[in-house]
A = this chain, B = another copy of it.
Amino acid sequence: MKYITIKDIAKKLNTSVSTVSRAFNDKSDINAKTKEVVLKTAKEMGYRQNRMAKNLVQRRSFNIGIVVPEFVNSFFPEVIMGAQDVLFEKGYQVLITQSNECYTTELKNVQSLENSMVDGLLISLSSETANIDYYQDLVNSGFPIIFFNRTYKEIKASKVLFNDYKWAMFATEHLIRQGYRNIYHFQGIKTLTLSRERRRGFMDAHKKHKITVEPHQVITSGFFMEDGEIIAKKLIKNNTIPDAIFAANDQLAIGAMNVFKNNGYKVPEDIAFIGFSESKMGSIVEPPLSSVKQPTFEIGKQAAKLLLDQIEAGNNHSPQTVMLDGELHIRESSQKKI
């Protein structure tokens, strides 16, 4: 395959490379007529711009790297779609990588993206990531990065976050108002800021209503459906059955719900459930799962916008945090029948 270059066009038209380049780049110092001719013959010849060459001289790749922990749940794909919407329009390509919730592959991904000379990074940390030095160094060196959803308070950088605290509190209060008093919280991985915030919401809701929470009511685990199953089995075995469960995500809630159901417990009569980050699965499970809906698409959009701003601004920008709100979708799984 022989690619047509700008030189070929110049030769054919008996003009200079500069002129042809000018035609493509909307420069002012070119005659409207010649521009038209160039564009026309370029099309005829099947010319296609070589982005690598262009990027090389402009020292920009126009690539944005995205690192997410997984994408089998629809959450991150939706965020990515939001980001792509904004980025595509501005002529950026998106490189998507996924860390499989593993810190080492996450780091490998980031470095691989750096080698590709991405102009910036959108990243959501894996549940395993505990060491943030590498990222902090990168940020400090002036490299544009936006952290979204999964991040650490300690990182000094721009972030797009969901108001986990507020909505966890709402969700918990919803349960309390229904009369539930022995509510357990499945917090997932406890070190993530997001988990801590949701836990804080859970605790403060209780505090507000003057209900004490015993330590055993908050349970740490991973974030998968299997984790929810394991916890449920353990609770059944120990015969410590909550009357309601507020889980840090839908997967945990659904996993536990299935186990309890299979063991003869009725939902929501015996145990009420409420999840987080509304997933498609939550709406088809029996009974439908109440959940906090996050504005996935919007998260992606905001993160992309923030990143582009940061790229534009160069060095004179200061870290910003965008906090987004959601809504509580109450379904059968958490509604006491009267």
Contacts and interface: CB of A to CB of B under 8 A. Distances in A.
Contact of A51 (B1, B84, B116, B141): B116
Contacts of A71: 71, 77
Chain B CB within 10 A, most for which of A49, A52, A59, A94: A52
Interface string A27-71: 000000000000000000000111111011001010000000001
A52 B117 contact: yes
Contact of A93 (B77, B112, B143, B286): B112
Nearest to A257: B284
Contact of A72 (B117, B258, B280, B286): B280
Contacts of A171: none
A238 interface: no
Nearest to A315: B1
Interface string A1-16: 1010000000000000
Nearest to A56: B52
Contacts of A143: 1
Given A1-B142, A286-B286, A61 B72 contact: no
Contacts of A286: 285-286
Contacts of A322: none
Interface string A86-101: 0010000111111000
A243 interface: no
A84 B112 CA distance: 13
Given A1-B142, A72-B74, A48 B93 contact: no
Query: Within the oligomer, what is the number of copies of this chain?
Result: 2
Nearest to A50: B117
A94 B95 contact: yes
A77 B81 contact: no
Interface string A269-289: 000000000001100111000
A116 B93 CA distance: 8
A308 interface: no
A316 interface: no
Interface in A232-261: 254, 258
Nearest to A289: B284
A85 to B, nearest CB: 10
A318 interface: no
Interface in A176-196: none
B258 A48 contact: no
Contact of A117 (B51, B142, B281): B51
Interface in A104-141: 112, 114-117, 141
A98 B114 contact: no
Contacts of A96: 94, 96
B98 A95 contact: no
Given A1-B141, A52-B61, 4 more contacts: A50-B117, A88-B112, A93-B116, A96-B96
